[in-house]
Every structure is written in structure tokens, then in C-alpha cells.
Amino acid sequence: MNTLQQHILLGLILLMPFLSKGQNQNLPLNREFGLVNQKVFNGFENSIHTSFLPLNNLSINNISTSFLSKSEEKFYLINISKSEKKPKNFFGWMWRSFAYGNLLVVDTGIFYLTVDPLFNIEIGSDSEDKSDNSLSKNTRGAIIRANVGSKFSFETVLYENQMFLPKYQTDYVKSTGVIPGQGRVKRFKGNGFDFAASSANLSYTLNKHLNFQLGTGKNFIGDGYRSLLLSDASFNYPFWKIIGTFGKENQFQYTKLNASLSSIARRDPGSTGEALFKRKTMSTHYFSWIPAKWLNVGLFEATMWKTEDSTGTKPLQWQQFNPIIGVNTVTTGFNDENHTVIGTNLKIKLPFKAILYNQVVYDGGAKYGYQIGAKYFGIPNLTLQAEYNNVAPYTYSSDLPLQAYSNYNEAIAHPSGANFNEIVGIINYKYNRVFTQIKMNLITSNLTGSNIFISENQITPAIVTDIERELTILQAHIGFLVNPKNNMSLTIGINKRTEAISALNIINETNYIYVGFKTSLRNLYSDF
């Protein structure tokens, strides 16, 4: 257990005597798990701020589920409710734990604790890989969640992993030093990778207007598959977050997020045996307004603060704690040593069970991006989604590479970085416990201006050559949901990827077919 988790556990023990009955948990940040939740929250008569994820259970109230099918309503209630009370005998407990509940449940009325295993056992083969490497994933872990009264919740998650990945993912790890969304790795048995990951979260709700969170994890801003503002594509980071909800029918929500982000470049050697990584901090403001049940407007601002230089750690800057959106943009600008990115998020709900959504991001000068998308859920058990993303060259970059819009050597917005356009189409269908997803990404990018760690001021125009890269990615799976409470499932899937760089006469193909048994409570992206 790391230091942060020890502090969180100590806080849990100290706060237990002062809290009262109820439930207060963040919903898992996983797209497929949350599809039925999003269908409910985006119902035309429901007014929920859906754009800053993960959502907390206490923000979900006055909800109508009348438009759901019986199957959908059942899974929605499982997602947001406590496990059933302890069965009368051992066999009842075994069946509940395996098929529809948490493995271990402690419920005293005031104190509610659940423990579940986490795993991903996957075996596959890439028919395009002539090296005949055996591909597999072996993830083991656990999640512990607790509610103490109606105001306080705690969660900790641990993962241990060994993986042998398709060639394009292996190449990515070798070039970046990190596995997508899961941090640094060490080599394992030749071409494999060994790594661990953990996250934790404390949530305290003072009253119906204020929620405070402290932890290590991920956040996501938007209503689409991708986010151009803040996504969960990079590794976990320490953060604190304050969420204020106010106004008639809670039509306003204001979120202040401060995070400590890391590079994988080490500081100069010091007194410790292994030098620490160079770091920066990020302060984010997000204002969400629901002027009508069919409309949600969001304003976004994030600033990367330079916290160290060649002389060591810099003095703390008071602006990091500034609670007012817009002030940091005025005082820092877009490409100073403190790097600010701003944007908007828009969602329109249509009366025929569909939404339109849009994002705009601006990073100064000619650096910008936009997203346009739609979701349709008017047919029971079915969700359709289409999305277009476009980002201009050098967006998210900074003249100081450490100050790029990044964490752990990865973008914290779109995984493709900048100078690209993307079309995404997704079909999800779920009937009782059988589910399927078909997703296609068409990405065209230009290698010039796509790397967010290289700014336009670091390039000599005379030697720049535009090189276009085209990606076609088809990912599909079908599965059986064993336990909806922890999203345990058996799946069979395919990841078919073609990369073409015509100017360099390069074509790389992947045809990965796999079988897996896993619990899925987070998003991990392999469509890049």
C-alpha cells in the first residue's frame, strides 16, 4: 500500500464515528458499463450534469426510467444500488457472489463495504505477425469500496499485470516508455511487459451542494467517445476535486480539479538511489449549465503549471488555487511556461431519445480542435453513436516539452495528439446478459505537428515534409455478462488494424483475435 492509500485508510477510520446512514459512491468510469446509465441520465425529462466523469451516486436524483426496457431497467438498478442483503446460506452467498452481487458485502446500515476481484485473462493470436509470438494478458487485482453514512465513501483498486501484446502496441510501449493508459513497465520474458497500477478515492459530501474528493485516478470531460478537453486515456494521477451544484433544480454545476502530473524524464541525481520524475501541476475549472432540460452548456479551462526548473522546485503559485474560471487564461496566456487550454462542451437532447454533442478546444493562435457527435438510444437494448474529431497541428504543445498537455508521456486529451481527423462509429446491443459491440475508427493524421511534445517553434520549416498516415481500425466483440455488479464477462473479439504511410511505402497490419474472461470497470484504449 502506497503512502496516499495509507492516508486515505487513516482518514476513513477517523471519519467513521461522525457520519450517518446512506450511500455515496462514484460510478465506474467504463463506457460499456455506463451505457444504460447514460441512456437514463440523457432521458429527455431528466436533468443530470453528465459531462464531468465519473459521476457520484448522490448527484443522481429525480430520475425517470419509464422509457427503459425491463432488461435495461434491471441492469441500471444493479449499477446504482447496493448489493442485496446477505443470503441465508452458503450456497446462496456463492450464487449471489458469482452471478449478480459483490463477492464480499458488509452492511451494518451505517457502514457498507464491498470487495471484488479484478482480472483480465486473455489469450489471442495475430495472424499478421509472422514471428508467431504468443499473445496474452494476465491481470489480477481487487477493488474495495466503502460507504460510511450518507456523506463519505472510499475506494481503492490494485492491479498486477503481465502482458504480451500485438506488435503495434509493443512498438508503442518501446517508443513511449509506457503502456497505453497504464504507466511505466519493465520487460518480462523477452517481449512481454510487467507492471502494476493502483488508484484510490475519498469522497465527502458536505451537503446537497458540495462534494469534496481526494485520490489517485482519472477524469473525463465530455459526452462523446473521445474528449478533446480532458480524457481518461493517460495514466492515473493524484488529484483533489471540489464539485458545487446549485440553482433551481441544480441547473448549475462548478468543478475545480487540481492534479499532479508526471513525465517519465528523471530529475538530476540527488540523495536518493533513483532520481524522481519531473512533474507539473494542472488546475482545471469546468462550469456546467442546464438552462433547459434539453440543453447543457459547459465552459472549460485547464492550466499546466511549471513547478520546477534547473534550480529545483519552484515556489507554489497562488493562481493554482484560484477558483474562478477565466482568470488563469488572462494571467498566463496560451504558450507561456504556464500553459493554458480552454474550450466548450455542448449537449442537445432530442425528444426522440437521441442527443447531439459538440466540443471546441482552443490553445492559442491557429491551435484548435472540435468534435461533433450523436447518440441514438430509441430502440430498446440498442445504442448507436457516430462522432467526428478534428485537431489542428501543434495543438496541446508547448515550447517547453514538459508543459505540453500530457501526463506520463501521453496526451491527456485525444490519444492521436494533434493534426488529425477521425470518424468513429459504434454499435452496442445488449439483451439480458448477451452483449456485442462493433466499433470502427478512421483516422487520417499528418506526422508534422502531430507530436504534442514538439511545438511549431522547435521545427525548422525548410526541413519539414508533410507525411500523411491513415489508420483503419475495426474492433468487435461478443460476450456473456456473468456478473453485472463487477462487469465480469466472457468475451470473444477481434482487433483488425491497418496503418498506411504512402510517402514512406509502409503498410502495417494487425489481425488480432482473442478470447477473454475479465472484469471491466475502466476504459483502456487500443484504437490508436
pTM, two decimals, is 0.92
What one-character-per-residue DSSP string does 393-416 give?
Answer: TTTT--SSGGGSSEETTEESS-TT
Closest CA to 246 of 289, 203, 212, 296: 289
**In which element (H, E) is residue 80 found?**
helix 70-80
249, with CB counted inside 10 A (0-12, 13-18, 19+), is exposed
Domains of the chain: 3-519 (2.40.160.130)
Q: 223 CB contacts (<8 Å, ≥6 apart)?
A: 50, 51, 345, 347, 355, 357, 373, 375
Predicted local confidence at residue 7, as pLDDT: 45
What single letter denotes the amino acid at residue 88?
K
What pLDDT does residue 458 have? Answer: 82
Residue of 366, 363, 279 whose CA lies nearest to 329:
363
Q: What grid cell was written down for 453?
A: 511534445
Residue for grid cell 501521453? 410
- Number of Cα atoms under 13 Å in the Cβ half of residue 359: 31
Residue 245, CA atoms < 13 Å, CB-side half-sphere? 23
DSSP-assigned letter for residue 27: P
Task: Judge whether 410 and 390 are in contact, CB under 8 Å.
Answer: no
Decide the pairing of beta strands 368-376 and 354-362: antiparallel
The whole-angstrom distance between residue 516's C-alpha and the CA centroid of its chain comes to 22
CA distance 34 to 326: 32
Q: Phi and psi for 38 in degrees, rounded to 5?
A: -65, -35
Per-residue pLDDT of the chain (528 residues; tens, 9 = 90+): 454 444 444 444 444 443 334 467 899 999 999 999 999 999 998 999 999 999 988 778 778 887 888 888 888 888 888 876 667 787 888 888 888 899 999 988 899 999 999 999 999 999 998 887 889 999 999 999 999 988 999 999 999 999 999 999 999 999 999 999 999 999 999 899 999 999 999 999 998 899 999 999 999 999 999 999 999 999 999 999 999 999 998 999 999 999 999 998 888 776 555 678 899 999 999 999 999 999 999 999 999 999 987 777 888 888 899 999 999 999 888 877 899 999 999 999 999 899 999 999 999 999 999 999 999 999 999 999 999 999 999 999 999 999 999 999 999 999 999 999 999 999 999 999 999 999 999 999 998 999 999 999 887 665 557 899 999 999 999 999 999 999 999 999 999 999 999 888 999 999 999 999 999 999 999 999
Cα atoms found within 13 Å of the Cα of residue 507, Cβ hemisphere only = 3
pLDDT confidence of residue 469: 96
How confident is the model at residue 85, as a pLDDT? 64
The reported pLDDT for the residue numbered 247 is 93
In this structure, what are the phi and psi dihedrals at residue 432, rounded to the nearest 5 degrees? 50, -115
Of 101, 106, 53, whose CA–CA distance to 81 is shortest?
101
Residue 16: CA count within 13 A, CB half-sphere: 14
User: For the residues of 420-477, what is the DSSP string, one character each?
Assistant: EEEEEEEEEEEETTEEEEEEEEEEEEESTTT-TTS-GGGS-GGG----EEEEEEEEEE
Close Cβ partners of 175 (under 8 Å, ≥ 6 residues apart): none
